[in-house]
Amino acid sequence: MSRVVTQLLYSLGANPRVVELAANDEGFLNTSHEPPFILVGGHALGGVEELFAAHIAGNLIHQLKAAGVLWL
């Protein structure tokens, strides 16, 4: 699923940084979200469901601009 998320962000003009975590990495088990967990400009967006909900609602581009990752 992280590939789908990455492709969506690239298609919107963002340049995502992908960090792979193993299931036993410190901090991974402390989140209520399933991977991939998405940070936008250092702020937690959530998981895949939140990302696609924001995209469908038309809010994702605004969130990306507000985070400073889009300059369109």
Structure tokens at 20: 């792979």
How far apart, in Å, are the Cα atoms of 43 and each of 7, 24, 39, 61? 20, 23, 5, 15
The confidence score (pLDDT) of residue 36 equals 73
The confidence score (pLDDT) of residue 72 equals 65
Q: Which of 55, 49, 57 is nearest to 33 (CA)?
A: 49
The confidence score (pLDDT) of residue 26 equals 59
Evaluate if residue 69 carries a pLDDT over 80.
yes
The confidence score (pLDDT) of residue 42 equals 80
Domain boundaries, the chain: 2-66
pLDDT in tens, 8-56: 999 999 888 887 766 665 555 555 556 678 887 787 888 888 999 999 9
Q: Is the peptide bond before 36 cis (omega within 30 degrees of 0)?
A: yes
